[in-house]
């Protein structure tokens, strides 16, 4: 494909989508795929997040969108325009994409104001000054306009980097682990602030992080990646409540997998028995995900456990409990969350408040983690 194809649009791509990654594949080393048929679309004004553990390919995906890496197969569209496919990659500077990196990457020998104004060369002097002032006010750094980057705190530098990326009003902002160098309180605050700023300015953004809390705090939709594949793409609630796979269930939130067995229309396990779901493909040896807040303490129950340890959480505590053998099921460790105070070693009687709904085929040695 020639560079002149860069302006081509594709009728199959929704023009409301700021970004479409369609069946994107990538490898650095032949035979070792890093991205496998990745499909992600981001609507205009939306904040999306690529979430996953280290090495799952999220930074590679972001670099492909920015134009720093080419795809091996598949296509990338920005605002309906084809910008990447095998053998063709529109250069980064022609993509209208702003970037914020983990370490801010401000120019060390430019003031904060000059950093923010860097992408505004096409503006005349007065307009540029006014826009820089507006942006510095937006990220609450007016008082620091004449300082050098090393004179700012980490959080201030990230805000300056965001202002620099937003200055030319790009169609898309990419944020690569932007808060990972900051302490957890500041991360939380900055995630909220940055989301509010992006939303107030109608910006579209893609965030990369391995931190679920950050993804939940910032993103409208989260693409959970694992080993180069997309496991699920949806809002935080759907990932938490309705994980599409065991990988998602294990990555998002707390909880343990308990073994269960289907017998006819009943599920049997170490914490009782329940009606089985209709899905017939879930047969034989299965596992259910049980969240810590899905247990209740009861006076009467055959499900008995003893408290192993306590993680105090302020409004309540997360307890690790060892269930005694129940019917033919051996001992199991579970996590339970209660407001009640329990002592280590105390015996507890438990019941699941609702029948388990997140049911998966049991993982075997051959199943990827």
Ligand X SMILES: Nc1ncnc2c1ncn2[C@@H]1O[C@H](COP(=O)(O)OP(=O)(O)OP(=O)(O)O)[C@@H](O)[C@H]1O
Structure tokens at 31: 């035979």
Under the binding rule (CB under 6 A), the answer on residue 107 touching ligand X is: no
Piece of 7-15, 56-64, 118-126, 188-196 that binds ligand X (CB under 6 A): 56-64
Which residue among 42, 59, 205, 317 contacts ligand X (CB under 6 A)?
59
CA 17 to CA 32: how far, in whole Å?
A: 30
Q: Which long-range contacts (CB under 8 A, 24 or more apart) does 52-55 make?
A: 52/210, 52/224, 52/225, 52/226, 52/251, 53/210, 53/226, 53/251, 54/210
The candidate with the shortest Cα–Cα distance to 52, out of 254, 252, 192, is: 252
Count residues contacting ligand X (CB under 6 A)? 12
Which residue among 36, 46, 49, 57 contacts ligand X (CB under 6 A)?
57
Which residue among 13, 19, 34, 219 contacts ligand X (CB under 6 A)?
34
List, as one string, the DSSP characters of 84-102: EETTEE--GGGS-EEEE-T
Structure tokens at 302: 């055959």
Under the binding rule (CB under 6 A), the answer on residue 56 touching ligand X is: yes
Which residue among 2, 4, 11, 54 contacts ligand X (CB under 6 A)?
54
Identify whether the C-beta of residue 52 lies closer than 8 Å to the C-beta of residue 210.
yes
**For helices 125-138 and 154-166, angle between their N-to-C axes, nearest 10 degrees:** 140
Taking residues 206 to 235 in sequence order and writing x for each that binds ligand X by CB under 6 A, - otherwise, the string is ----x-------------------------
Under the binding rule (CB under 6 A), the answer on residue 368 touching ligand X is: no
Under the binding rule (CB under 6 A), the answer on residue 58 touching ligand X is: yes
CA 138 to CA 169: how far, in whole Å?
A: 14
Q: How far is the CB of 251 from ligand X (least distance, A)?
A: 13
Piece of 57-65, 125-133, 295-303, 306-314 that binds ligand X (CB under 6 A): 57-65
Contacts of 42 (CB under 8 A, 6+ apart): 17, 18, 19, 20, 48, 172, 204, 206, 221
CA 352 to CA 276: how far, in whole Å?
A: 15
Q: How far is the CB of 22 from ligand X (least distance, A)?
A: 19
Piece of 50-58, 103-111, 124-132, 250-258 that binds ligand X (CB under 6 A): 50-58
Q: How far is the CB of 311 from ligand X (least distance, A)?
A: 26
For ligand X, the nearest residue by Cβ is 59
Which residue among 55, 87, 91, 330 contacts ligand X (CB under 6 A)?
55
Q: How far is CA 115 from CA 146, 167, 334, in A?
A: 10, 10, 51
Piece of 53-61, 133-141, 247-255, 287-295 that binds ligand X (CB under 6 A): 53-61
Strands 73-78 and 17-29: antiparallel
Q: How far is the CB of 83 from ligand X (least distance, A)?
A: 19
Taking residues 10 to 29 in sequence order and writing x for each that binds ligand X by CB under 6 A, - otherwise, the string is ------------------xx
Residues in contact with ligand X by CB under 6 A are 28-29, 34, 52, 54-60, 210
């Amino acid at each position: 494909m020639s560079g002149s194809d860069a302006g081509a649009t594709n009728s199959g791509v929704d023009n409301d989508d700021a970004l479409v990654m369609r069946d994107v594949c990538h490898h650095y080393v032949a035979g070792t795929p890093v991205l496998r048929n990745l499909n992600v679309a981001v609507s205009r004004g939306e904040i999306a997040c690529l979430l996953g553990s280290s090495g799952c390919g999220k930074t590679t995906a972001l670099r492909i969108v920015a134009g720093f890496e080419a795809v091996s197969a598949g296509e990338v569209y920005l605002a309906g325009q084809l910008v990447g496919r095998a053998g063709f990659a529109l250069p980064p500077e022609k993509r209208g994409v702003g970037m914020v990196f983990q370490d801010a990457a401000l120019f060390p020998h430019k003031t904060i104001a000059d950093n923010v104004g860097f992408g505004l060369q096409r503006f005349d002097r007065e307009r540029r000054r006014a826009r820089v002032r507006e942006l510095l006010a937006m990220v609450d750094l007016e008082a620091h306009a004449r300082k050098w980057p090393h004179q700012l705190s980490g959080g201030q530098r990230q805000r300056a980097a965001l202002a620099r990326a937003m200055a030319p009003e790009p169609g898309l902002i990419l944020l690569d682990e932007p808060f990972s160098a900051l302490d957890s309180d500041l991360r939380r605050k900055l995630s909220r602030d940055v989301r509010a700023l992006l939303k107030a300015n109608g910006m579209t953004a893609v965030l990369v992080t391995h931190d679920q809390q950050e993804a939940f705090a910032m993103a409208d939709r989260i693409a959970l990646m694992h080993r180069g594949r997309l496991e699920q793409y949806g809002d935080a609630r759907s990932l938490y409540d309705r994980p599409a796979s065991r990988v998602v269930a294990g990555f998002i939130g707390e909880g343990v997998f308990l073994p269960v067995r289907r017998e006819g229309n009943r599920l049997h396990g170490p914490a009782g028995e329940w009606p089985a779901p209709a899905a017939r493909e879930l047969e034989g040896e299965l596992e259910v995900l049980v969240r810590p807040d899905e247990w209740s303490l009861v006076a009467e129950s055959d499900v008995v456990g003893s408290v192993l340890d306590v993680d105090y959480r302020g409004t309540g505590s997360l307890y690790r409990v060892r269930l005694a053998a129940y019917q033919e099921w051996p001992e199991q460790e579970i996590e339970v969350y209660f407001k009640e105070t329990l002592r280590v070693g105390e015996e507890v009687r438990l019941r699941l408040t609702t029948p388990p709904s997140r049911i998966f085929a049991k993982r075997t040695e051959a199943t990827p983690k």
